[in-house]
Structure 1
Amino acid sequence: MDKFNKLLASGEPMVLGLFRIVTGLLLFQYGVAKILKFPVLPYFASPPPLIMTAGGIELVLGALLIIGLWTRPVAFILSGEMAFAYFMGHMFKTPAAPVFTPLINGGSAAILFCFACLYLACAGGGPLSVDAMMKKK
């Protein structure tokens, strides 16, 4: 079992970079859908200003996360945005009766993004990032 653990641990830095890139791409696609209206999604057809603001954050910071520039602060801000999105857009969608179960209120992705970005804020961007390249200089 020790050999198996060592084998998997040897790939950890590259998988961290891959995790950052995929997380950034997924957040970026939400920003593109909200701001650029591509693809056309019915629930983003005419978004209110709060959703447009969230889309701008996801578009710009998602792109920064993809390339790994300022990974820790960007991921920290995105983590907070996703927590805010969960509470405002999912849990308290109906203020009279908040729905606490993510499976019912549709907030599973927001929770997952929140903790994925929190992990990236703590772990950094990995070796496949602009941050790592800037440290080498």
Structure 2
Amino acid sequence: MTALLFVIHGTSKILGFPDTSMSFPPPWTLFWIAGMLELIGGLLLLVGFLSRPVAFLLAGEMAIAYWMIHAPESIYPVVNRGEAAVLFCFIFLYIVFAGPGPWSVDCWIQKRREAEGPLGYYESGHTPGMSPTSE
């Protein structure tokens, strides 16, 4: 759910849906880069692909957002409306350390690698059409 909410921040900035005051920032500006990170990073987290590095990057984005956008108004999140940035930051840090979860693409890839053994299918000397015992 966190990733889905984060994607909505990205679609708002990059695609203009839903339309907000930050919709359609000029390319390569800070808000455009943030929107791309939110859109692409949120989608990657939503499916659980490259979860730990993406979550680390997004936690950093939210820390920067808090200190650059919200904190100059006040240090207190309830005053500067930075609660979402703080929550996103710490949820993403949790994902960095806890991992993506059992329904993620990362988990599927890991289970597939474990099933192939320490060496992949082709690296272990198998050739197509030959059984491992027909030597």
SS, match of residue 100 in structure 2: coil
Counting only pairs closer than 5 Å after superposition, residues 58-137 of structure 1 correspond to structure 2 as 58-92=38-72, 98-137=73-112
Kindly report the root-mean-square deviation, in angstroms, between the aligned alpha carbons of the 2 structures.
1.2
Q: Structure 1 segments of 4 or more deviating over 3 A?
A: 45-48
TM-score (structure 2 length as normaliser) = 0.78
Residue 73 of structure 1 deviates from its aligned partner by 0.5
Q: Aligned partner of 2:60: which letter? A: G
Unaligned runs of 5+ in 1: 1-21, 93-97
Structure 1 match to 2:25 = 47
Structure 1 match to 2:130 = none
Normalized per residue, which structure has more helix? 1
Residue 45 of structure 1 deviates from its aligned partner by 3.9
Look at both structures and tell me which one has the larger radius of gyration over its CA atoms. Answer: 2
The number of equivalent residue pairs is: 110
C-alpha change, 1:131 and 1:46, in structure 2 (3 Å) is: closer
Identical residues among aligned pairs (%): 48
Deviations 1:80-105 (A, max 9, x none): 0000000011112xxxxx51111111
TM-score (structure 1 length as normaliser) = 0.77
User: Is the 2:16–2:23 contact (alpha carbons within 8 Å) kept by the matching residues of 1?
Assistant: yes
Deviations 1:39-78 (A, max 9, x none): 111x214536211110000000100000000110010100
Whole-angstrom CA distance in 1 between matches of 2:24 and 2:102: 40
Relative contact order higher in (CA < 8 Å, ≥ 6 apart): 1
